[in-house]
Amino acid sequence: MNFWSANRFVVTGGAGFLGSAVVRRLQAKGATQIYVPRSRDYDLRQHDAVLKLLSDHQPDVIIHMAAVVGGIGANRARPAEFFYDNLMMGTQLLHEAWKAGVQKFVTIGTVCAYPKFTPIPFHEESLWDGYPEETNAPYGLAKKMLLVQGEAYRHQYGFESIYLLPTNLYGPGDNFDLETSHVIPALIRKCLEAKARGDQQMVAWGTGSPTREFLYVDDAAEGILLAAERYNRPDPINLGSGMEISIKALTETIAELTGFTGEIIWDSSKPDGQPRRALDTSRAENEFGFKASTNFREGLKRTVEWYLETTNQQV
Residue 229 to residues 134, 169, 272, 289, Cα–Cα distance (Å): 35, 22, 37, 11
The residue from 42, 114, 139, 231 that is catalytic is 139
Q: How many CA atoms lie within 13 A of 155 on its CB side?
A: 8
Cα 22 to Cα 32: distance, rounded to the nearest angstrom: 13
Q: Is residue 139 flagged as an active site residue?
A: yes
Q: Tell me: cis bond preceding 121? Omega within 30 of 0 counts.
A: yes
Cβ atoms of residues 215 and 292 within 8 Å: yes
- Give the CA dihedral 71, 72, 76, 81, nearest 10 degrees: 20
- Residue 259's CB: how many other CB atoms inside 10 A? 12
Angle, alpha carbons 310-311-313 (nearest 5°): 115
Q: Where does the chain have alpha helices with state H?
A: 3-6, 17-28, 47-57, 72-77, 79-100, 137-157, 183-197, 217-230, 247-258, 282-288, 296-311
DSSP 35: E
**SS3 label, residue 248:** helix
Distance of CA 237 to the CA centre of its chain: 13
Q: 118 has which bridge partners?
A: none
Give the residue numbers annotated as catalytic, written as ranges.
Answer: 139
